[in-house]
Amino acid sequence: MAEKRLTVNQNEVPIYDIVFEDSFLPLKEELLKLHSENRKICIITETRVAPLYLEEVKKAIEPACKTVCSFLFEAGEENKNLDTVSDLYEFLIQNQFDRKDLLLALGGGVTGDLTGFGAATYLRGIDFIQVPTTLLAQVDSSIGGKTGVDFRAYKNMVGAFHMPKLVYMNMEVLKTLPEREFNCGLGEIIKHGLIKDKAYLDYIEEQKEEIKNKNPEVLKELIYGSCVIKKGVVERDPKEQGERAMLNFGHTLGHAIEKKMNFELLHGECVALGCMAALFISCKMGNISKEECEKYCSLIRWFGYPSLPRDISAREIVAITKLDKKMEHGVVKFIVLKELGEAQIVKTVTDDMMEEAILTLIS
């Protein structure tokens, strides 16, 4: 049975809690634990999430702080950039936010990354909390303090590590989450199983019907399970000196596909495609069997991700991987499976292997 709280520690010191609830109301008590009563809070959210949850969250937290205001930006990855951050700085200055005040990210990965970056840099760093409203943000991007924005064509190229003071999840938000967004989170969840925990992967396989039907109890177990995995990784390697890089499984080709498709596919969809490609490459390297590769590619496909169009150039996607920040001395650091439930970094994946893997993703 999933618990209602996890604590992320650093060197055995508690840093922040991840809280699992079924409404926004207990957010007030969580904020008071952060001594919010004399602090201003700015809720940062985007145009798709605001009509759904902004007023509800405002109402829930008003009794717990000095004042609440909100900063709204246009939804979409294309707005995760320095222009939006500049607008945010301007807004915070106009509203006289100081170092004691607090930012609250209400939304998915774009909102969390952008708010976190604003918090890391405004007045050389102020506190922020994550209130993720997508499955992907709940299981992945809201945890671990990676913040940042895209710079021109380069994804997440400008950023900082800045830990949130709280990650607060209201599980009810999943009820309004569009199907494609839901699948984006599942891609990251399957990734967690592939790279870290074979038993968790078996659980996903066993429960796939319930997951597709969005059985709330199964989803809670799943989100909790993924948060346990992510928490463990970021506690052991907060600044990606080693183990944390394994979370980039599926991301090298995933990011390149995302760019090549002009962001028409969502980030999590591209990661799911990237995971299938990475499974194929792991199989080619002899690390997993053909049956294992087929089994987990089928599992990913079963949840219903788009394929790549027939006329896409695999070679151009490979060329884009060279612009990725996961390069070291001009060589792509590629994450493959060493076996199911364990990943490793290799620098021996050739362009031909990547091209062959991309071709398997074309419909």
Q: Is 258 in the site for ligand GLY (CB under 6 A)?
A: no
Least distance in angstroms from the C-beta of 267 to ligand GLY: 10
* 55 φ/ψ angles, rounded to the nearest 5 degrees: -65, -40
Binding mask 3-42 for ligand GLY (x = CB under 6 A): ----------------------------------------
- By CB under 6 A, the count of residues binding ligand GLY is 6
Interatomic CA distance for residues 117 and 160, integer angstroms? 6
Q: Is 144 in the site for ligand GLY (CB under 6 A)?
A: yes
Interatomic CA distance for residues 228 and 133, integer angstroms? 18
Q: Is 65 in the site for ligand GLY (CB under 6 A)?
A: no
* Residue (of 88, 81, 186) closest to 134 by Cα position: 186
Q: Is 333 in the site for ligand GLY (CB under 6 A)?
A: no
Nearer to ligand GLY, 240 or 356 (CB): 240
In the chain, the largest separation of any two C-alpha atoms, in whole Å, equals 60
Interatomic CA distance for residues 86 and 94, integer angstroms? 12
Q: Which residue is nearest to ligand GLY (CB)?
A: 247
Q: Which two tokens stand for residue 270?
A: 């591209």
Please select the residue that binds ligand GLY; options are 212, 244, 284, 333, rule is CB under 6 A.
244
Nearer to ligand GLY, 155 or 260 (CB): 155
* Residue (of 141, 134, 138) closest to 168 by Cα position: 138
Q: Is 48 in the site for ligand GLY (CB under 6 A)?
A: no
Nearer to ligand GLY, 163 or 247 (CB): 247
Least distance in angstroms from the C-beta of 240 to ligand GLY: 6
Question: Using CB atoms within 10 A of its CB, is residue 73 exposed (0-12), middle (13-18) or buried (19+)?
Answer: buried
Q: Is 267 in the site for ligand GLY (CB under 6 A)?
A: no
Binding mask 103-142 for ligand GLY (x = CB under 6 A): -------------------------------------xx-
- Give the footprint of ligand GLY on residues 285-304 (CB under 6 A): none
Q: Is 247 in the site for ligand GLY (CB under 6 A)?
A: yes
- Give the footprint of ligand GLY on residues 148-207 (CB under 6 A): none
Q: Is 324 in the site for ligand GLY (CB under 6 A)?
A: no
Least distance in angstroms from the C-beta of 101 to ligand GLY: 26
List contacts with ligand GLY (CB under 6 A).
140-141, 144, 146, 244, 247
